A and B are shown apart, each in its own frame.
Chain A
Amino acid sequence: MKRRQIGLAVLSAATAMALGACSAGSLGSSDDSSSGGGGKVTLSFLTDNQPETVKIAEGLAKDFNAKNPDITITVETRPQGTEGDNVVKTRLSTGDMTDVFMYNSGSLMQALAPQKNLTPVDEFAGQLDDNFKKSVGSDGKIYGVPFGNYMAGAILYNKDVYDKNGLKVPTSWAEFEANNAKLKAAGVDPVIQTYGETWTSQLFILGDYFNVEATTPGWADQYTKNQAKYATTPAARAGFDHLQEVHDKGYVNKDFASAKLTDGLNKLAKGEGAQYPILSAMLSQLIADNPGTENKIGLFAIPGADAAKNGLTVWAPNGLYIPTSTTGAKLDAAKKFLGFVASPEGCESLGKASQPTGPYAVTGCKLPDSVPQAVKDMQTYIDKPGASGLALEFLSPVKGPALEQICVEVGSGIRKADAAAKLYDEDVKKQAQQLGLEGW
């Protein structure tokens, strides 16, 4: 009896000591960063792990630190694609986000519930381009500054291969198909597809949006209100049809199912494939991996039914955001950093870290004269009135999460285009309901 009591006393004393030690320890280790003397601040900065993005992020961090020696920025990385979305959402919802983070603008940014989770940065509105403000705005406030350049969802093509086969840049789908037939006969893979990275499968649909808007103006609004559907609008469904067509006619590379983005870019640079529907921002990686290809790769808009109405679908740059969990001295420092990024100095730092692949969204920033050919091609569309427009994800918050998988199915011949369009209409319903949109 007595022995048990002694044992228990010892046990409870030990527990109390252990608990005490634990709390003292954790208190001791958490008060160094913000309250340290001298006003030195360290900001953490989350970005995706694409090599060029990391280079830009680290370049910005270094150049900003050179100007503001008291503020150090450490870059962290996360995966790309849906896995990365998950990381960002989870960290935001648990209040565990880095002090500054990079994320998509447009519909994906709207899904972060910016009013609740992000700090508005209206003070930089004067420095930003209107299209970009639209894509990081919510309820009349803006929440981010651009990280990177405008990009296009378009077809990159190998100019040498085009010249060798005597081809002209197509402006309608029929011309594109005629080119493909000639390329196939010449033994070159006409269209490169890389489903090893599923997001690359969506370009024929997402990059076709200018053509949809050109034939049915105001489609995005009707789509948001649940009045227009992919399956029932022929112009919108065309993207799925095109994807099926290039597969059915055997125009894609043999290893399309397992090839990755890098493989696709290298194939295009080496001329093993002639055309690659992809985001123009991938150009910087292509050039970095294949030096000397700056002027060998051109760009054209994804062709639609009508050559007269063909134009370029443009993506706003990703944004840099400050989560509401950043406060005090860190918030001031974070705003200073965003101000730097949204200034001509920021653009300069960006251009130094990575070849600019599209126009800047910051006022007063100019592209250097020595940009690659594809960027010049892109600029031609943008300078011509009415030849470029924003992608659907910047005009409507409705974007289904399964589009990548559905596109892979269509592009691999598993599902037909009409069934895929219907399936995607079902998929976006969930997103619309989650966002609480009216009419769904």
Chain B
Amino acid sequence: MSATGPAPAGRKRSPYPIWFYLPAAIVYAVLFLVPTVTSFYFSLTRWSIFDSQFIGFDNYVTFFQEPALVSGLWHTVVYAVVTSGLKVVLGLGLAVLLTSQIIGRGYLRSVVFFPVLVSTIGVGLTFTILMDPEDGLINESLALLGIQGPGWLTDPSYALLSVALVDVWKGVGLATLIYIAGIVSIPQEYFEAARVDGASAWQNFRSIVLPLARPATFTVILLSLIGGLRSFDLIWAMTRGGPGFTSDVIASVIYKQYQAGFYGLSTAGNVVLFLLVTAIIFPLSRFLNSREVDL
């Protein structure tokens, strides 16, 4: 029925009627545009289970006065930078190793990638048990070596970093995969020319692999930074932001407001998170992309 009257303008430019966009447009509008717009409105209200009351920017004021927020912001940045940095370094190292001629390369590649496939909550719960300060496997192993391991998740100065390390363990496979793709796509001519010139392995890496894998580096940085800024599931599964508020990130602060029934406040928090991620990622992405063109 819809084929009988396509718009003349659409027919000239594209062989398909413009209505073909409709299903996707409806899905996009209903699931993304409408909730986004309504969330901007609801962030200006105080709503309980059924009614809402317009209160202007009070939620934003409260949210920025939230003591956990300031530390949460800092923890978020630390978490994002630590995970992103480690994923770049370890991912590149592993990718160089796994593109070289080593025994069991295919097997090792899948081993590195395997944690990416496991459920985050499952990983979180497993590591919570492994990191138990009294009878966790990690501290019991350290005790055999005569080392008194710290309370990985219960000591306020280690909790956030312990979770970040687990995040790296889980996510480094993806970074490695991207790097492997980047390194494999470097034309062999460069390496052949370098061999003719008698370049060492380090020179190969420093002057060929590193600069020519730059697009991969940018992708890894961007993806892991976005992932780190909005990380929530792993932190919630492992520490719930604790002990106290010492591993709270923005997302978990927002979730706690939601749990407490402060729906307007948590919506305001989500708007703030949205703006923050945009403010960091958008210029970064522009910058990294412009560098890519220069290459």
Contacts and interface: CB of A to CB of B under 8 A. Distances in A.
Interface of A: 4-5, 8-9, 12, 82-83, 85-86, 89, 92-93, 111-113, 116-117, 195, 198, 254-255, 257-258, 401-402, 405-406, 408-409, 412, 414-415, 423, 426, 430-431, 433-434, 436
A430 B259 contact: no
B293 interface: no
Q: Which of B65, B67, B132, B155 has the most CB of A within 10 A?
A: B67
7 contacts: A83-B259, A93-B50, A258-B132, A405-B245, A409-B245, A414-B243, A430-B265
Given A12-B2, A402-B68, A405-B241, A258 B49 contact: no
A395 B49 CA distance: 23
Contacts of A254: 134
Interface in B15-55: 46, 48-50, 53
Contacts of A86: 258-259
Contact of A257 (B4, B53, B154, B240): B154
Given A83-B259, A401-B260, A409-B245, A255 B133 contact: yes
Given A258-B151, A414-B156, A85 B261 contact: yes
A412 B49 contact: no
Contact of A409 (B4, B132, B153, B243): B243
Interface residues of B, number: 36
A405 B242 contact: yes
A258 B242 contact: no
A89 B49 contact: yes
Interface in B48-79: 48-50, 53, 62, 65, 67-68
B243 A408 contact: yes
A112 B260 CA distance: 11
B122 interface: no
Given A8-B3, A412-B244, A426-B67, A85 B50 contact: no
Contacts of A412: 154, 156, 243-244
Interface string B149-183: 00101111000000000000000000000000000
A116 B47 CA distance: 14
Q: Which 6 A-B pairs have the closest CB atoms?
A: A409-B244, A401-B260, A257-B154, A8-B3, A93-B49, A86-B259
B151 A113 contact: no
Nearest to A85: B259
B84 interface: no
Contacts of B48: 113, 434
Contacts of B3: 4-5, 8-9
A338 B65 CA distance: 44
A431 B257 CA distance: 10
A269 B241 CA distance: 31
B246 interface: yes
B21 to A, nearest CB: 15
A402 B261 contact: no
Q: Which of B1, B50, B53, B245 has the most CB of A within 10 A?
A: B245
Contacts of B109: none
Nearest to B152: A258
Contacts of B113: none
Contacts of B246: 414
